Amino acid sequence: HSYCTSCVAKFVQVQVTHHNISEITCPSINYVLFSRLFSLLLFFDLANLSKYLTRNLYNFHRCTTAFCYDCGSSSCICNGGLFGVFGPSILTPLLLHRHSLLGREAATGRGVAFATEALLSEYGKTISGLKFAIQGFGNVGYWAAKLIHERGGKVVAVSDITGSVKNPNGIDIFALIKHKETTGTLKDFQGGGSMDANELLVHDCDVLIPCALGGVLHKGNAGDVKAKYSIEAANHPTDPDADEELSYILPDIYANGGGVTVSYFEWVQNIQGFMWDEEKVNNELQKYMTRSFRDIKAMCQTHNCDFRMGAFTLGVNRVARATVLRGWEA
């Protein structure tokens, strides 16, 4: 996705300091992760800049910095092929490497499922029997849909860039996955009807999970959203103007934190040289997501605010407290 080169420095600053530090400190992880940085390298000599950047940051931070790829990253970057240094704790997640962590592939989607369970339990509900609409069927949407389906949730609508599917009785997610793997598209799936992609966001459901790009919920459509709960699996899917129109929003800095949390587990594993099994990874992730929700809820009760403000306040407070304790205050 293209951005003006004059905005690169500002974009890096916002993404690194604003989103990721809040995302990491919200689950209480003291770990610095540079995410979505590599999509910006499209403006430069990709190979040389990435080697220069990683080599210098690694030498400066050594064991406290890891790099994470995102939309727009090349397969070479995703497999660590462009780094000027090597070490299993430099890149996360490690896709084609013996140091990769079991459970990392599903971590963001699994974290979304855990976050959804935590939110619903607060109102005496469970995933089972509720209707879900999921925008995006890439890694996050795929795993979120699969895990919600396995927990008895009724996924009534799914969309991605290839098409949209709806079924008021619930989509057979396993059949949809097989269809997508076979054809490469959601189109012509026999287990449901087609619909306009924009219709999914205002589809009749209990829980809306945007798993695609930012800014999809805005002042123009937020008033038509029928879902009572919105789980922000994407980064910044809700514009500020839309916040007031929606009921219960679980913010992105918490809801999609499963990926960065398990990346932290992977980093710890590779620093220690001790392999974790997948059950341990999933259990630890559930503990972090559940505990973080309780912390956010407590912050909301203390300050009489919504989940987004509670999550940001929690993250900022943790950074501020650590800064003061280290003597970095101005």
pLDDT in tens, 268-321: 887 788 888 999 999 999 999 999 999 999 999 999 999 999 999 999 999 888
- Is the distance from CB of 119 to CB of 250 less than 8 angstroms? yes
- How high does pLDDT run on average in the chain? 81
Domains in the chain, number: 1
Residue 194 above 60 pLDDT?
yes
- Is the distance from CB of 87 to CB of 63 less than 8 angstroms? no
And the tokens for 20? 């990721």
Q: Where residue 153 sits, what CATH number does that domain have?
A: 3.40.50.720
Classify residue 171: in a domain, yes or no: yes
Classify residue 74: in a domain, yes or no: no
pLDDT tier at 325, thresholds 50, 70, 90 = confident
β-strand pairing of 131-135 with 229-231: unpaired
Per-residue pLDDT at 48: 67
Classify residue 215: in a domain, yes or no: yes
Q: Provide the residue range defining the domain that includes 223.
A: 107-255
Average pLDDT over residues 149-166: 96
Classify residue 18: in a domain, yes or no: no
C-alpha–C-alpha distance, residues 131 and 77, integer Å: 38
Helix (H, G, I), strand (E, B) or coil at 185: coil
Residue 182 above 80 pLDDT?
yes
Dihedral sign from CA coordinates of 253, 255, 256, 257? positive
Residue 221 above 80 pLDDT?
yes
DSSP one-letter string for 304-318: T--HHHHHHHHHHHH
- Is the distance from CB of 290 to CB of 258 less than 8 angstroms? no
Classify residue 239: in a domain, yes or no: yes
pLDDT tier at 13, thresholds 50, 70, 90 = very low
Classify residue 29: in a domain, yes or no: no
Question: 21-35, 179-193, 274-288, 300-314: which has the minimum mean pLDDT?
Answer: 21-35
Nearest-10 Cα torsion for 89, 90, 93, 95:
-100
pLDDT in tens, 39-49: 555 555 666 66
Classify residue 285: in a domain, yes or no: no
Classify residue 30: in a domain, yes or no: no
- Is the distance from CB of 215 to CB of 236 less than 8 angstroms? yes
